[in-house]
Chains A and B, each alone.
Chain A
Amino acid sequence: TGVTQSPTHLIKTRGQQVTLSCSPISGHRSVSWYQQTPGQGLQFLFEYFSETQRNKGNFPGRFSGRQFSNSRSEMNVSTLELGDSALYLCASSLVDSENTIYFGEGSWLTVV
């Protein structure tokens, strides 16, 4: 099975917070998150490996994440803004992005 993300679609109100989940391919230890919007394209959020954040993109502190011992990852966005409406993609790879990374289908977040 591939990278699985949940939920697939959700609608939130401004000011709320949201948690998105990602299960990597079995055996993959690196998980990265991306935000995809029509205006900005695909933007790197952060990358986790062995429960540690190894790299972070240029997003405000409202965006956070974590990785569990089984490599599953979650990302959280607090105090949601309208501009956070986007497709959030998770990707996994064996060790790092030098290996082929595999994307999930994403979680569509709409903030109203």
Chain B
Amino acid sequence: AQRVTQPEKLLSVFKGAPVELKCNYSYSGSPELFWYVQYSRQRLQLLLRHISRESIKGFTADLNKGETSFHLKKPFAQEEDSAMYYCALEGAQKLVFGQGTRLTINP
């Protein structure tokens, strides 16, 4: 079965501090992993996917198959990063989301 776990419901950091949003997954096959973000009053949108190995808005995420993790990181948080973040796993043509982490960046 596919499962995504985001252990932190809430995360609060100061502007300029590093951010790490944790994501662990369970899947027997080869996973495709994503991070989605929902800013206030906006629709859910893709932030990044692991196969692209890209950095979007300063965020990166590395797939660690040994630890079955896909943590989202940013070295210096900005106030506009405040949002709801969802980790998602795609397998068997189905996207499974974690419970989400609400990130708040304090000025």
Size class of the A contact interface (CB-based, 8 Å)? 20 to 34
Tell me the minimal C-beta distance from B53 to chain A in angstroms.
15
- Residues of A contacting B100 with CB < 8 Å? 41-42
A41 to B99, CA, bound (A): 5
Q: Is B56 interfacial (CB 8 A cutoff)?
A: no
- Residues of B contacting A32 with CB < 8 Å? 95
A98 to B97, CA, bound (A): 15
Write the chain B residue with the least CB distance to A106: B43
Tell me the minimal C-beta distance from B36 to chain A in angstroms.
8
- Within A62-112, the residues touching B (CB, 8 Å) are 89, 96-98, 100-106
Do residues A57 and B94 form an inter-chain contact, with CB atoms below 8 A? Answer: yes
Question: Could you tell me how many residues of chain B have their Cβ less than 8 Å away from some Cβ of chain A?
Answer: 17
A54 to B92, CA, bound (A): 10
**How would you classify the secondary structure of chain B's contact residues: helix, strand, loop or mixed?**
strand
Mask of A22-66 contacts with B, CB within 8 angstroms, 1/0: 000000000010100000011110010000001101000000000
Q: Is B46 interfacial (CB 8 A cutoff)?
A: yes
A98 to B92, CA, bound (A): 11
Tell me the minimal C-beta distance from A45 to chain B in angstroms.
10
- 17 A-B contacts, Cβ less than 8 Å apart? A2-B43, A34-B97, A41-B97, A41-B99, A41-B100, A42-B97, A44-B94, A47-B93, A54-B93, A55-B92, A97-B90, A97-B95, A98-B90, A100-B46, A101-B95, A103-B43, A103-B45
